[in-house]
Structure 1
Amino acid sequence: MTDPIDVDAPRDPRAQPAAVLQALYQEHSEESRKHTTRQGLWIAVLVYLLFSISDILLIADVARHTVAARFAISAIMLLALELQIRLRQDADAIDRTAALALILAYAGWLTTALMTSQTAVMSYYMVFGAIFMMSINLFFNFPFRLSLMASTVIVLLFFAALLSFPQEEQVYKLTFGIFCLSCFIFTSYVNWKLNHERYNVFLNALVAKARQEEAAERGEALLRLSNTDPLTGLANRRAIDETLRSLWAEWRQNGQPFAVVLVDVDFFK
């Protein structure tokens, strides 16, 4: 006879195919990713616009162009983001828009800022491009591939600008080049690590939920076993006593009538 409390063997969700787990993870994190990206881009735009003050102080001769570029790019990308939210597009599309916004923000500012006659100041000021790279990898919860691609574009833009200063010494270019590459490698690694940790947290929660459901099923099976006659599958003496106590209490409290019928069947077993 099969043991009544036998249930399926312990279920480990991690044994499922990776594609299935990834799909579950995407579905689970969809809304939170949208919210995080939307909130993050609004904050990033605010900080980006506040840096207009630095433009006015450091590269005043082209500040009107850089500030105009900042406001134009910010307005366009925020409108695009809010339109996607209204159209209920998925988190991947919204993440791509936010990543593109950061790239365009750096490219738009850098293109106009390089027109300045304050080349010495600009040669150091442009190192703040590392902020865009760190924002992509650390401030947002972008998937690793998207973060890697977007931050790579930022690095390429930085090196293109760096090479546009032929009057600067090679030591300067080497120093800032190493700094930029170091930021790229470090922040990309941290982004990969954070994505990995978030995925592991999801898997652990999935395992905990499966074990909780399994424990509940075993508890229900044990309860059925304790109240069931193993030969007939009918309620046993324990279950009958509990039912009688419940009916008796109902009668005493509400006057609900009940009846008990005893049947003695000879040679039943």
Structure 2
Amino acid sequence: MSAFELDSAPVRQYGRSIPAHLQAPFKRYVEQHYGGFLLAINFIAMIAYDLYVFADALLIPDMALESLLLRGGLSLIGLVNIYIVFRHSRNVLLMDMLMPLHDIVSTIAWFELLKRSSSPDIHTFLYASVVFIILANLGARYSLRGIVLCSLTISAIILYNVSLLHDGQSKPVLVFAIAYLPVLLFSLFISWTNINGVRVAFLNDLEKKRQRDELAELNLRLETLASTDALTDVGNRRAFDLSLEKHWNQMRLDGRHFSLLLVDIDYFKPFNDHYGHLAGDQCLRKVASCMGNSVRNGQGQLFRYGGEEFVILLHIEHDDELSALAERLREQVASLGIEHLHRPDTLRHLTISLGAITSATPGLLHAHDLLAQCDRLLYQAKQQGRNRICLGEHTH
């Protein structure tokens, strides 16, 4: 199974984990789709944290100046951290956990202000500490383990300091814990839901990509089958018609001419009649393979035109090159030495006849004119005794 393949079963909506071999693409997915959100949530949390300076001024006025300086200093450090993590590090875990880690430091700093204040509203103000656990849990999108550890750390800091500020009195601490615990559990549930939603979205995205790739591969195979001759494994008549039209239109755009070769296996019908259809099919495959090997490396395209006829589109503009290639094809097919004892001439092996023409031939108005002229040249080659080439005359 490749790195982007999943089983065909539907992705479960809850409790979905990411397999080890998908961790790297999952990190890229989170960075691509949620990097902007994680950056924004850091700024939102920082703004919310800084706005609490007004609450400090109201409820612990004796710490108002210290609160302003402390929050300003921590915000400056936070901005530097955000720049380093999101601009340079690009570590997904750090991007996800930066705000909760800032939250831990902010929680400690805030309680230090409370412990140094003599305000009578401290015990009431303690309940505002739930904002730290809420902010920490709302932003996580990648690491469930990381946010759980951060949440437990923040909770331990809060409960420990609440106990200190109540001088170890169990009743007010218990009341606070009863109010705090549902907030902790609910915010953790929100974190789990968000992180799991990202995982499910990632796995569903992979599944859709796999299905698209399979469909594209299937379409490519169908297209190949539709454009390939099953017997000889070269292009079929349909593929030739499309390719000829494409070459013609391209020539009209850029002025670069091309050539056409129409090939016929000499006396193929008596060969097929006397040696049998299986031998005839094998003969067609050998001839196609021989000619295909001669026009590879981008020099041309070979198609089965029908029956024992083949056609070749060539990136050749000059008649001397075309004549040389056509002669080479004729000689190479003859050198196959395929026995043909039932032809009416004196030869005893298989040969081919060829009509050859370039698109620079005067009087050609359409692509089918080129094909018709090439067909006439092939007919002339056959009339002149076969096993020969008839080349169209043109000027440059």
Q: TM-score, normalised by structure 2?
A: 0.59
Deviation per residue, 1:51-71 (Å, 9 max, x gap): 111111111122222222211
What displacement does 1:238 show?
A: 2.4
Change (3 A) 1:247 1:159: closer
* Alignment-derived partner of residue 115 in structure 2: 114
Instruction: Give yes or no for the alignment of 1:220 onto 2:220.
Output: yes
Change (3 A) 1:162 1:206: same
For 1:53 and 1:134, how far apart are their aligned partners in 2?
20
Instruction: Give yes or no for the alignment of 1:98 onto 2:95.
Output: no
Q: Bigger CA drift: 132-141 or 95-104? A: 95-104
For the Cα contact (< 8 Å) 1:229–1:236, is it kept in 2?
yes
Deviation per residue, 1:199-241 (Å, 9 max, x gap): 1111111111111111111111111112212111122232233
For 2:35 and 2:42, how far apart are their aligned partners in 1?
11
Instruction: Give yes or no for the alignment of 1:74 onto 2:66.
Output: no
What displacement does 1:254 show?
A: 8.2
Instruction: Give yes or no for the alignment of 1:155 onto 2:149.
Output: no
Deviation per residue, 1:150-185 (Å, 9 max, x gap): 111211122112212447975543222112111111
Greater relative contact order structure (CA < 8 Å, 6+ sep): 1
* Alignment-derived partner of residue 63 in structure 1: 64
What displacement does 1:72 show?
A: 1.6
Q: Bigger CA drift: 32-41 or 163-172? A: 163-172
For the Cα contact (< 8 Å) 1:102–1:132, is it kept in 2?
yes
Q: As a proportion of its length, which structure holds more helix?
A: 1
Q: As a proportion of its length, which structure holds more strand?
A: 2
* Alignment-derived partner of residue 25 in structure 1: 26
Change (3 A) 1:68 1:216: same
- 1:126 alignment partner AA: L
For the Cα contact (< 8 Å) 1:74–1:105, is it kept in 2?
no
Deviation per residue, 1:242-267 (Å, 9 max, x gap): 33444566678888575452413413
Change (3 A) 1:264 1:39: same
- 1:153 alignment partner AA: T
Change (3 A) 1:253 1:155: closer
For 2:37 and 2:250, how far apart are their aligned partners in 1?
54
* Alignment-derived partner of residue 14 in structure 1: 6
- SS in structure 2 opposite 1:39? helix
Deviation per residue, 1:57-102 (Å, 9 max, x gap): 1111222222222112221222233234443341223444432211
Change (3 A) 1:73 1:229: same
For 1:123 and 1:98, how far apart are their aligned partners in 2?
26
- 1:149 alignment partner AA: L
What displacement does 1:131 show?
A: 0.9
Q: TM-score, normalised by structure 1?
A: 0.83
Gaps of 5+ in 2: 8-17, 272-279, 282-396
Change (3 A) 1:114 1:252: closer
For the Cα contact (< 8 Å) 2:139–2:191, is it kept in 1?
no
Structure 2 matches for 1:1-269, cutoff 5 A? Answer: 13-15=5-7, 18-119=19-120, 121-141=121-141, 143-166=143-166, 170-246=170-246, 258-265=259-266, 266=268, 267=271, 268-269=280-281
For the Cα contact (< 8 Å) 1:137–1:188, is it kept in 2?
yes
- 1:14 alignment partner AA: L
Q: Bigger CA drift: 29-38 or 178-187? A: 29-38
For 2:66 and 2:254, how far apart are their aligned partners in 1?
84
Q: CA RMSD in A?
A: 3.0
- 1:13 alignment partner AA: E
For the Cα contact (< 8 Å) 1:155–1:181, is it kept in 2?
no
For 1:76 and 1:12, how far apart are their aligned partners in 2?
39
What displacement does 1:127 show?
A: 1.3
For 1:260 and 1:237, how far apart are their aligned partners in 2?
14
What displacement does 1:18 show?
A: 1.1
Gaps of 5+ in 1: 1-8
Q: Bigger CA drift: 248-257 or 133-142? A: 248-257
For 1:30 and 1:250, how far apart are their aligned partners in 2?
44
For 1:117 and 1:253, how far apart are their aligned partners in 2?
87
Q: Percent identity, please.
A: 24
For the Cα contact (< 8 Å) 1:14–1:21, is it kept in 2?
no
